[in-house]
Amino acid sequence: MDFFTSIVMKVVAKNGLVTAFVVIGVMTWMSYSISKYATKGRIHGSAIAIVLGLILAYIGGEVTGKKAGISDITFFSGIGLMGGGMLRDFCIIATAYGIKLEELKKAGLAGVLAIVVSTFLSFVIGAVVAWGFGYRDAVSLTTIGGGVATFIVGPVTGAALGASSEVIALSIAAGVVKSIAVMILTPLLAKPFGLTSPAAATVYGGLMGTTSGTAAGLAATDPKLVPYGAMTATFYTGFGCLVGPSICFFVIKAIVG
């Protein structure tokens, strides 16, 4: 038996990406069955699959103590490649095939406005919450505000301003909470909050900003909306990294002294 398992493990280890296809395939099949039979189609299969993925990610993180979810366990290492930035971005680009430029033009200006408003709002929310928990220095307040924008803006801002590693870790956590909340809440809140058209998706991408969050959130809501939301979201982190350590820091510093 030992002989058999060692051979299986060897094959799996050598075929990480192929194993990932099998694992994700099984997860998808399970999720769509649950969607169909347990929820009578009320909850989208991909929404269930994404939550299942997040649960696996939690287990992986607890077991290994590392940062990349289930993919830190050798058996599942291929999921790291399959769900990594390279293939994610490649697939997002592929979704643009068939996009209607007219729709994008219609909401373009509103999308840009959404990015600007939401970035500054994130810094305000983050700084206010951090203030409420006793942080008083402009560097920490700005860094945590950046984390509320996205989990990349936080550490980039913190590194530029020389924030403590504890504050930087906190800002990353805030960004991860946001991205996961977007994944889970979008399919539930989409209809009541008017996320039903390409124009609304363009605005939504600019408001949420987290590429992974909007990617998963829209996939679980209506795949047709994905490219519109993804398009604006890809500009958000860059904009946040630009204004975080500069304008936002100066304004917060002027206020708290």
Q: Which of residues 156-215 bind other proteins (CB under 8 A)?
A: 156, 169-170, 172-183, 185, 189, 193-195, 197, 199-200, 202-204, 206-208, 211-212, 215
Here's the x/- map for other proteins, 85-114, by CB under 8 A: it reads as --xxxxxxxxxxxxx-x----xx-xxx-xx
Select 73 or 251, whichever has its Cβ closest to other proteins: 73
Which residue, 139 or 176, has its beta carbon nearer to other proteins?
A: 176
- Rounded to a whole number of angstroms, the minimum distance from the CB of residue 197 to other proteins is 7
- Least separation in angstroms between CB 9 and other proteins: 20
- Of 148 and 163, which CB lies nearer to other proteins in the complex structure? 148
Q: CB neighbours (10 Å) of residue 121?
A: 14
Q: Give whichever of 159 and 255 is closer to other proteins, judged by the CB atom.
A: 159
Residues 214 and 206: their CA atoms lie apart, in Å, by 9
Distance CA 244, CA 257 (A): 17
Residue from 16, 147, 158, 187 in contact with other proteins (CB under 8 A): 147
What type of residue sits at position 34? I
Name which of residues 10 to 49 contact other proteins (CB under 8 A).
20-21, 24-25, 27-28, 46, 49
Residue type, 253: K
Residue 146 is inside which H or E element, if any?
helix 138-149
Q: How many CA atoms lie within 13 A of 18 on its CB side?
A: 5
Helices first, then strands: H and E counts in the chain = 13, 0
Q: Which is nearer to other proteins, 120 or 253 (CB)?
A: 120
Tell me which DSSP letter residue 223 carries: G
**Which residue in the set 76, 138, 143, 248 belongs to the binding site for other proteins (CB under 8 A)?**
76
Taking the complex as a whole, the smallest distance from the CB of residue 75 to other proteins amounts, in Å, to: 12
Please state, in angstroms and rounded to a whole number, the distance separating the CA atoms of residues 13 and 113: 47
Using rule CB under 8 A, residue 229 touches other proteins: no
Q: For residue 85, with 0-12 CB atoms within 10 Å meaning exposed, 13-18 middle and 19 or more buried, which class applies?
A: exposed
Give the nearest distance from C-beta 7 to other proteins in angstroms: 25
Among the listed residues 43, 68, 251, 256, the single contact to other proteins using CB under 8 A: 68
The CA distance from 248 to 242, in Å, is 10
> Considering the complex, what minimum distance in angstroms separates the CB of residue 52 from other proteins?
8
Rule CB under 8 A: choose which of 19, 35, 118, 143 binds other proteins: 118
Question: CB 37 → other proteins: shortest distance, Å?
Answer: 19
Interatomic CA distance for residues 31 and 41, integer angstroms: 11
What DSSP element (H or E) covers 123? helix 101-132
Cα separation, 182 vs 50, in Å, equals 11
Number of residues that bind other proteins (CB under 8 A): 113
Task: State how far Cα 122 lies from the chain centre.
Answer: 15
Work out which of 16, 53, 158, 187 binds other proteins, going by CB under 8 A: 53
